[in-house]
Amino acid sequence: MDFNKVDELKTKLKSMRPLNETEIQRLRGEFIIENTYHSNAIEGNTLTLRETALILHEGVTIAEKPLKEHLETIGHRDAFKYILSLADTNANLTERIIKHIHSFVLMDDADNRGVYRGVPVNILGAAHTPPQPYLVPVQMESLIKEYKKMKRSYHIIEAIAEFHLRFEGIHPFIDGNGRTGRLILNLELIKAGLLPVNIKFADRRKYYDCFDYYYSNGRSPEPFIQLITDYETDELKRYINILDR
């Protein structure tokens, strides 16, 4: 996998005149709304992008939509703000931080937020069965340790992609694993000086296929690495074009 283009764009963006605080806040606000919509939609939330924006910007309640979907929207927004604060301090990824991110994501479920699952789960149609609940803490501890080593040995996108595929395979929580995993992915990209990426609802089949490929082909992360690389390249180009204007 050739990461030269990503690294070149990252260097170019870093060398350009920075946006002022107002511009940064506007772009960040737009990204959070779009990311919240797409990440929730992948998991079955039926709110539209416009409805998501109305809830987050105007505090509007969408009468015909469930309260759960409103809370998922607010929780994801708050979780994204939390990962931005973590990125500002370059905080090391820990199980405590992962559980804290999850507690925002699952704000509508007081019993299960920030708590590893205590029951077996199956992912319908998936090529992989998550481990039994008693193995979750052991495998999560191991994943965190191995991720630190991966970051020293591989390009950051390779390390992040591998972490995400394995995190979702462990499926540590009863619900909210996808949203939590994508927030962690963006946290680690931002910490590495890259831009957060927005895996689109329209690409959900391609996204899910990456997991099936990983667990059916000797744990090869290549398709997911390529997906993240493509998203990151597009996002870097978009920001550079904004600065050029």
**Average per-residue pLDDT in the chain?**
95
Identify the pLDDT of residue 23.
86
Q: Which residues contact 129 (CB under 8 A, 6 or more apart)?
A: 122, 123
What pLDDT is stored for residue 189 in this prediction? 98
Instruction: Write down the CATH number for the domain with range 4-244.
Output: 1.10.3290.10
Alpha carbons 224 and 52: distance in angstroms, whole number? 27
- Which amino acid makes up residue 16? M
Question: What percent of the chain is helix, strand and coil (3-state, nearest 5)?
Answer: 70, 0, 30
Q: What's the confidence (pLDDT) of residue 205?
A: 96
Angle between helices 204-216 and 156-170 (to 10 degrees): 80
- Give the pLDDT confidence score for residue 33 in this predicted structure: 98
The set of residues, in sequence order, having a beta carbon less than 8 Å from that of 59 and lying 6+ positions away, is none
Q: Given 38, 70, 102, 171, which residue is catalytic?
A: 171
How many whole angstroms separate alpha carbon 102 and alpha carbon 104?
Answer: 5
pLDDT in tens, 181-196: 999 999 999 999 999 9
Is residue 74 within 8 Å of residue 59, measured between CB atoms? no
Q: How many Cα atoms within 13 Å fall on the side-chain side of residue 216?
A: 10
Closest C-alpha to 191, from 120, 90, 48, 72:
90
d(CA 36, CA 47): 10
Give the N- to C-terminal CA distance of the chain in Å, as an integer.
Answer: 31
Which pLDDT does position 173 carry in this prediction? 98
pLDDT at 123: 82
**Pairwise CA distance, residues 226 & 153, whole Å:** 18
> What is the sign of the dihedral through the CA atoms of 212, 216, 219 and 220?
negative
Q: What digits encode the pLDDT tens for the residues 95-126?
A: 999 999 999 999 999 999 999 999 999 887 77
Q: Where are the domains of the chain?
A: 4-244
pLDDT for 231:
98
Q: Which residues of the chain carry a pLDDT beneath 50?
A: none
Of the candidates 198, 182, 205, the residue with the CA atom closest to the CA atom of residue 125 = 205
pLDDT of residue 12: 95
State what percent of residues in the chain have pLDDT above 70.
100
Does 171 participate in catalysis according to the annotation?
yes
